[in-house]
Structure 1
Amino acid sequence: MAYRLHLSAPLDAEIRRIAREQVEKAIATLTRDDGDRHEAIHDARKRFKKLRGLLVLAEAGDPARVRAEIHRYRDAGRALSGARDRTALIEALDGLKARFAEEVETPSFEVVRTALELKRDAALEAIGDPEALVGETVERLRGGLTALGGLVLKGGAKRQRAILSGALAKNHRRARRDLAKALRTGAAEDFHDLRKRLKYLAMHLKLASRAWPEALAPLEASADEVAEALGRDHDYAVLRAEIAADSVSFGARADLDVVLALLDRHQSELRDRAAFLAGRLLCDRPEVFAARLEAWMRLAGTHAPDTAPPETPEALRRHAH
């Protein structure tokens, strides 16, 4: 099933359904015998982010339970992050090389890439047995499946719509605040905070997309573009810190200067584009944005109700107690 809400169904039932699908897919990916283990971990971590973006929509309805589950998937992602984060730096360097391929020909990229590969391999050795780590993560996910059964939001449709609208407004408000701070400070960590908020916004627009696909798809695409650009910006910031901490391992200073100069240039391009798109996406006041989206969802669910698949008997038993 798609990562989209059925608009005629109760919010809590839909969150349970979609969350269960994401957890089950993550377990299937991590326990598959064939395929690339690192790609499986990357896919699972993306699902953990989707789970967190979904669960924040219910946070006001059951704060303690929802926060515990958000922390579950945050911690699961961090536990699997070691080798993947190192690989992301190599991908960032490759992206930088591709960006300037028609302007600059230099062996400097290969020198830095070799150093990053050595550090990635050392990180893999330090992790130890990856299968044991994956096994622990799978058990944590199975616990999440059980916990999902208890996610029940009290009140009727009106109350659940208020919970949804409040969550949408909260993320929008924090995104506006983070945008203003990032533009004021220029700090990498502030742009990274903005990235997380825009990633949640993209997820929320996808979840709501049945409300008005033609209107919401371009907004989702813009939010995804901002998140992608600022994700690469964050990779560049981490790469710069890696080089600063151990510059000797990355070759001659002349090679580093070439790479760092191009990194600065591309980072500036990414931030300028992200700030422009984020400014458009966040121009409405949070309450206006949330009320409009919630109204579209409500009207779409009433006018042309979509049919949500019934929950399994096992799931119904879990959240009935």
Structure 2
Amino acid sequence: MSYKLEKQEELKESISRIASEEIEFCIASLKNTNLHEAVHEIRKSLKKLRALARLFRDELGEKKYKEINIFFRDLGQELSPIRDLTAHMETIGILQERYGDHIYVKFFNSIVQELEKERDSLEKELKEKKFFSEYILDQFTGAQEEFTEWPVKSTDLAVVLPGLKLTYERGMDALEEAYAQPDAANFHEWRKRAKYLWHQLQLMEQLWPQFFKTWADEVHKLADFLGDDHDLMILHEKLNSPEIQLKDEKQMEMLHALIKEYSEHLRAEAELQGSLVYAEKPKAIKKRMLKYIRTNWN
């Protein structure tokens, strides 16, 4: 099936199916997909699982919610170092596509070589430790037993409304904080909130498919702006780290200038998109969602 709650299923059945499918997808990715593609896809699934848990937070209870959220959060963090190196190279590819006509052809070669060398070394180290083939695989195998049956008793979809309202409200607050104090941490926080909202809207699509798909797509667009900005920020940090040894100071200055220019563009786009996404008050969103549920679900 797919990452959405289904009207023809009991609520508990839908939740269990979605959790099981996402975990099974992670296991299949480890076994059948290129390592770096697998890591990227797995991290996306982990975010989707956490968004699902947030949607049912009140029903799960704080103890069970934290157990689920922390498990999948920590697993994602363990995959971050190797994913970040791939993200750095992808971000450089975007910069090259955007600014390549204005700089010399081999401008990015040395930094890409540094990153590839570091990633190859880390990949070799992790494979020697059987990090992917045993450790991560064991974590997901355990999750199949522990985290596919969640203690959700309600059959009324309205149980999701507190979680959806909280996600929306925190995203609205994060938008305001990001532009009041525009540092990387605040934009990263807003990015996380936007992604949770995107995934939760995907889950709710069957309430009104055409409407919710359009809404989710607009939130996804916002999340992409913020995600690309986040990738620029972690690349900026990487360029300032001891691991990167670029001898050409002018090259380094130009890299930071390109990052700054593109970040400013993305943040301007995100501000407009965010103002549209978060145009309604959280209470109004909750009230509207309840009407959809009463009209076209229960």
Q: Does the CA-based 8 Å contact 2:43-2:76 persist in structure 1?
A: yes
Q: Distance in 2 between matches of 1:123 and 1:172?
A: 38
> Offset of 1:128 from its aligned partner?
4.8
Identical aligned residues as a percent = 26
Name the CA shift for 1:251/1:221 in 2 (closer, same or farther; >3 Å): farther
> Offset of 1:195 from its aligned partner?
0.4
Matches for 1:119-198 after TM superposition, within 5 Å: 119-129=118-128, 131-148=130-147, 150-157=149-156, 161=158, 163-198=159-194
Q: Does the CA-based 8 Å contact 1:53-1:204 persist in structure 2?
A: yes
Aligned to 1:218: 214
For structure 1, the 5+ residue unaligned runs are 303-321
**How many matched pairs?**
297
Paired residue for 1:54, among 41, 52, 55? 52
> Offset of 1:106 from its aligned partner?
4.7
> Offset of 1:150 from its aligned partner?
4.5
For structure 2, the 5+ residue unaligned runs are none
Q: Distance in 1 between matches of 2:125 and 2:290?
A: 48
TM-score by length of 2: 0.92
Higher mean C-alpha displacement, 85-94 vs 12-21: 12-21
Instruction: Give the secondary structure class of the aligned counterpart of 2:130.
Output: helix
**Match of 1:41, as an amino acid?**
V
* Cα displacement string for residues 35-63 of structure 1 (whole angstroms, at most 9, x for unaligned residues): 41222222222111111111111111122
* Cα displacement string for residues 174-233 of structure 1 (whole angstroms, at most 9, x for unaligned residues): 101111110011100100100011001111111111222222222211211121121121
Q: Does the CA-based 8 Å contact 2:127-2:133 persist in structure 1?
A: no
Aligned to 1:100: 99
> Offset of 1:247 from its aligned partner?
8.4
Q: Distance in 1 between matches of 2:244 and 2:296?
A: 60
Name the CA shift for 1:248/1:191 in 2 (closer, same or farther; >3 Å): closer
> Offset of 1:91 from its aligned partner?
0.6
Q: Does the CA-based 8 Å contact 1:56-1:167 persist in structure 2?
A: yes
Q: Does the CA-based 8 Å contact 1:229-1:274 persist in structure 2?
A: yes
Paired residue for 1:263, among 254, 259, 262? 259
Q: Distance in 1 between matches of 2:251 and 2:148?
A: 55
Q: Distance in 2 between matches of 1:150 and 1:117?
A: 41
Aligned to 1:307: none
TM-score by length of 1: 0.86
Q: Distance in 2 between matches of 1:252 and 1:102?
A: 20
Q: Does the CA-based 8 Å contact 1:19-1:51 persist in structure 2?
A: yes
Q: Distance in 2 between matches of 1:174 and 1:8?
A: 31
Q: Distance in 1 between matches of 2:104 and 2:212?
A: 41
Q: Does the CA-based 8 Å contact 1:205-1:219 persist in structure 2?
A: yes
* Cα displacement string for residues 144-192 of structure 1 (whole angstroms, at most 9, x for unaligned residues): 22223542224452xx51x300000000111011111100111001001
Aligned to 1:305: none
